[in-house]
Structure 1
């Protein structure tokens, strides 16, 4: 895998990934070791400081295992089991493809105490209502089958549950007004999108800001960016492009992204002005 700007680049279709064989294998190994220790998911999860639902996703191959899981598992399952688990994890780090790296970012998202997103391409996945998700995947090229679309919609809606499951996480989204003006999927889909943004923006831990169409001073010229603060107060960046994705961990590069994001927040409309604009656009449909 090619290293670039302190991150890992991988081939991608920039949508929700299919389950990879290596992730499913790791999940099966974790489940077998947990069963051998005669622990249920509900018993095992608090001992490794994760939720039972999160452990279930890892065992199903739906989430990339976080770094801390291996160390914490050794204390619960023993040294021998930890070596087996580490060997299974080794195949994940060698796997090329978006599935592994996107799922690693999804794991970072679920464990983050702060999560920031700037989008100039599409509404952030965590904020997309079902109708908008379908509009995106129905227009995907090469075309997807009906079954593939359903799989993608289900995966994305499941991922969005963390907005409700993590009330102590601070979410910040800066969205270009052009994404709303585009009316992806038509007026009815746009109406549902605006209603959804107004609803989500009403949560105490979610801040949504719109970047106006006319903005002479704009810090987002380098494109979309995602940033997450881990429980250890370390920041990680993530970005996507055409057929590629990158996880950014080098402190210098993440610092630059944080500076840009801070500037974007100061340039975008505030919370009240954003609500006013969304309501105005909703009324114009």
Structure 2
């Protein structure tokens, strides 16, 4: 299989979700006549499972490319403590104080990826109105914008803003997350109100890639996006 025994055990016991190459190798080793590939295709269509995000978080830690389009909120990897705390504090159904702390801690812990993976290409595109929505008030948003300015400095992080003056664009269907593994496999993750979808289907990922490429061309350049952030900070 060319995988560590612990990885195989995790997948066999349902704790981890297998990448496509794992299934292809398993087909060969077990001489399964396409049965595993058939089951895998249907399994990837399951929706609304909280385990999908745990699988995505595991893949994030090894990704060599990570693309994020957001038109609702500042992406979790770029949120400040105060911004995240405001979101979790206003959640419905409500979290307890201890649950808020646990959620904020987990979110901030994920941000270590930006420092720990200097060879990973991070690309973020955010709708301008997200940055103008005063989540937590003026002080919180000023801190958030300052944080974004600091986060956009590394060469491996690309940050773009979709300007409000842009009418129709390729991201109106909702957020997009794409990542590439060291084996050059691509996965996608999309969130809804009370459900989420982890996608491995090549056709689905191809469509999302096309949309993301179009978003990159429609958004402001990284340099113009940074200038816009600086003007926003000055206005607060």
Give the TM-score taking structure 1 as reference length. Answer: 0.69
Which digits, 9 at most, give the CA deviation of each residue in 1:30-65, with x for residues without a partner?
xxxxxxxxxxxxxxxxxxxxxxxxxxxxxxxxxxxx
SS in structure 2 opposite 1:174?
A: strand
| Residue 221 (structure 1) aligned with residue 172 (structure 2) | yes
Give ranges in structure 1 of 5+ residues lacking alignment: 1-67, 76-81
Counterpart CA distance in 1 for 2:48 and 2:214 is 32
Preserved contact between residue 69 and residue 175 of structure 2 (Cα < 8 Å): yes
Give the 3 Å change call, closer, same or farther, for CA 74–163 of structure 1 in structure 2: closer
Following superposition, the deviation at residue 234 of structure 1 comes to 1.3
Corresponding residue for residue 176 of structure 1: 127
Which digits, 9 at most, give the CA deviation of each residue in 1:41-100, with x for residues without a partner?
xxxxxxxxxxxxxxxxxxxxxxxxxxx9x931269xxxxxx66x555x236669996431
Give the 3 Å change call, closer, same or farther, for CA 142–74 of structure 1 in structure 2: closer
Counterpart CA distance in 1 for 2:3 and 2:114 is 27
| Residue 198 (structure 1) aligned with residue 149 (structure 2) | yes
Corresponding residue for residue 82 of structure 2: 131
Alignment of 1:45-64 (within 5 A): none
| Residue 281 (structure 1) aligned with residue 213 (structure 2) | no
Preserved contact between residue 239 and residue 245 of structure 1 (Cα < 8 Å): yes
SS in structure 2 opposite 1:111?
A: coil
Preserved contact between residue 217 and residue 267 of structure 1 (Cα < 8 Å): no
| Residue 108 (structure 1) aligned with residue 96 (structure 2) | no
Counterpart CA distance in 2 for 1:125 and 1:216 is 26
Structure 1 residue runs of 4 or more that deviate by more than 4 Å after TM superposition? 91-97
* Structure 2 counterpart of 1:238, from 185, 189, 193: 189
Counterpart CA distance in 2 for 1:132 and 1:242 is 19
| Residue 148 (structure 1) aligned with residue 99 (structure 2) | yes
Give the 3 Å change call, closer, same or farther, for CA 91–97 of structure 1 in structure 2: farther
Which digits, 9 at most, give the CA deviation of each residue in 1:158-212, with x for residues without a partner?
1111110000000000000101111111001001100000000011111110101
Following superposition, the deviation at residue 216 of structure 1 comes to 2.9
Corresponding residue for residue 90 of structure 1: 14
Following superposition, the deviation at residue 128 of structure 1 comes to 0.4
> Across the two proteins, how many residue pairs are aligned to each other?
209
Counterpart CA distance in 1 for 2:84 and 2:94 is 15
SS in structure 2 opposite 1:196?
A: helix
Corresponding residue for residue 116 of structure 2: 165
Give ranges in structure 2 of 5+ residues lacking alignment: 18-42
Preserved contact between residue 48 and residue 194 of structure 2 (Cα < 8 Å): no
Task: Give me the CA root mean square deviation.
Answer: 2.2
* Structure 2 counterpart of 1:264, from 207, 215, 218: 215
Corresponding residue for residue 39 of structure 2: none
Counterpart CA distance in 2 for 1:260 and 1:253 is 11
Counterpart CA distance in 1 for 2:77 and 2:222 is 18
